[in-house]
Chains A and B, each alone.
Chain A
Amino acid sequence: MATGTSTAASRSVAEHLAPSGSQRLFVTGGIALIVAGMIFGDIFAVFVLHQNGNRIGGRLIAAVHAVAARDTQAVTTAFHDVGGLLENRGTKVDAHVHMIDFGYLALLMALVQPYVSLAEERKRLLASLFLWGAVMLPVGVFSIHYVGLQYSPFSAIGWASVIADLGGSLVLVAMVLETAGLLRWFGGDRAAEGMPVISTSSWCAKTLMTGGTLLVLAGFLHGAHYAITELYQAERADRQTLGRMVDAAAANQIAVAEAAVVRYGGLQAAKAIQIAAHSHVIEFGMLAMLLAFIQPYVKLSETWRRRWVISLLAGSVILPVCVLQELRFGLVAGGVADVGGALVIVALIGMLVGVIRHGGRLDAGVQA
């Protein structure tokens, strides 16, 4: 009986990871998107984030000096620069977040493919559509800062935004059609009988599932604590500090105005740190849970699979915890957080290699 079940499971996995099949496209594309998004995030954190923050602080100092000197043109120039720097940071954060979230969604879609009652050719087309959109949106968003409104027929939206929105639309269309396919399956139109094999019984899957659930729960509690105790105070402090900055600059009290700029920077950093810790711990938790389901597709020895699981969970704890310590310990905590991020990336690449090996073995079997 056990052998029969195991054979059925292997057959099901083989069938669902068929060469160029929709499920394989979603699994490999999803992990690749997550890895790319994380590497991009690490590069952004190390080479852009802090430098960008310092430049914004510098332009705000220039603005308060211009206010004191009654130079309205210089004020406008300084804020034009701040706008550019904020756009630079915002679009990179958006590209990072969307690439990773589309990766998660791709893994989810991979898991529900057996329930989608559509011809395999159409499912492949939808998977391709989804992945194209999932690449177009972050690439478009990343390009917004560099392309601007050049050659755009619109007053506020540039070509990069159009590409990004088109990418988002492709993902949306793919999702709607996948949902229609799912509804057909549940309506009784089932091309393939039987339930998909999703095993969470192995040590790796169980550890990822439990660890992931606990990480998500920790993220929820942290978010609730932040919203209750800090969010509204932080918004009030923002408003008060900007008011002090403006008043002090107008009164020619440069030292007070500059101190307000420094305080404003500190408030923004504290807010960014809380939000980064909250979102990363939840996203890593969700990633761990998703990876629990694809463990049957990771063709590696049990030792290596366990190593990648431990590495992923360790990194998932280290990164948000160290991000939270950045205000107290500065770049040391930031550096350790980056090591945590690297552990997650390496573990993901390890698992991706396992999935590709699995696919390769299936292909060899198919050809034989």
Chain B
Amino acid sequence: MSASRKLLLFGGLALAIVGMVYGLVYAVLVEHQTLDGLGGSLTTAFVRSAERDLPAAQSSLETYARNAYVYVRQVDTHSHWIGLAMILMVLGIAFDNVGLGEGWKLGLALLMLGGALVFPMGVLMQTWMSGALPKVLASAGAAAVTLGMAGTAWGFSRAQ
């Protein structure tokens, strides 16, 4: 079995396990509390508004928006890690059918595995770090996966 195929299969498996462990820990320890917080802050905003305490209402809406921003990214991280891991494994199984040299195939495998790790990590980092770095990481990771996938599709089309 070629190194590129091994990299995709084992990298994909490891990434799927990482995504599942993260999802399980998140579901048990974080998600329920986050959802309660989301509902609570939105309700508080409207209750404060009914009490005509508009600064407090807007503050609660800020809390809600911040919680929603975090929640969406935490769930996205879980689903993208596992989704990308499955794509890596599927491609790994078929990678011998890519009509390119092993050097190119290893490069594509590294590009996709690196992107699949970094893209969701960048998304998750946005929940605890502001600034450009997390967005740059997420964008670079997504671009790496897309480029790797396009190269693989091209390789499949070259296969005999």
Contacts and interface: CB of A to CB of B under 8 A. Distances in A.
A168 B156 contact: no
In which size bucket is the chain A interface? 35 or more
B136 interface: no
Contact of B94 (A66, A70, A200): A200
**Contact residues of A: prevailing secondary structure:** helix
Contacts of B33: 156
Contact of B146 (A175, A200, A214, A220): A220
B61 A243 contact: yes
A67 B50 contact: yes
B132 to A, nearest CB: 13
B9 A83 contact: no
A214 B153 contact: yes
Contacts of A34: none
A224 B87 contact: no
Contact of B47 (A72, A210, A228): A72
A169 interface: yes
- The CB with the most chain A CB atoms within 10 A, among B24, B94, B146, is that of B94
A250 B61 contact: no
Given A209-B94, A246-B58, A286-B87, A165 B46 contact: no
**Contact residues of B: prevailing secondary structure:** helix
B17 A172 contact: yes
B24 A165 contact: yes
Contacts of B32: 156-157, 161
A153 to B, nearest CB: 15
A73 to B, nearest CB: 9
Contact of A67 (B49, B65, B79, B83): B49
A155 to B, nearest CB: 9
Interface of A: 63-64, 66-67, 69-72, 75-76, 78-80, 82-83, 86-87, 97, 101, 104-105, 108, 111-112, 156-157, 161, 164-165, 168-169, 171-172, 175-176, 179, 182, 186, 195, 198, 200, 209-210, 213-214, 216-217, 220-221, 223-224, 227-228, 235, 238-239, 242-243, 246-247, 249-250, 279, 282-283, 286, 289-290, 292-293
28 contacts: A67-B46, A70-B52, A76-B47, A80-B43, A165-B28, A172-B20, A175-B20, A176-B17, A179-B14, A182-B9, A182-B10, A198-B94, A213-B149, A217-B150, A220-B146, A221-B146, A227-B142, A239-B65, A242-B61, A242-B64, A243-B61, A246-B54, A246-B58, A246-B61, A249-B49, A282-B83, A286-B83, A293-B94
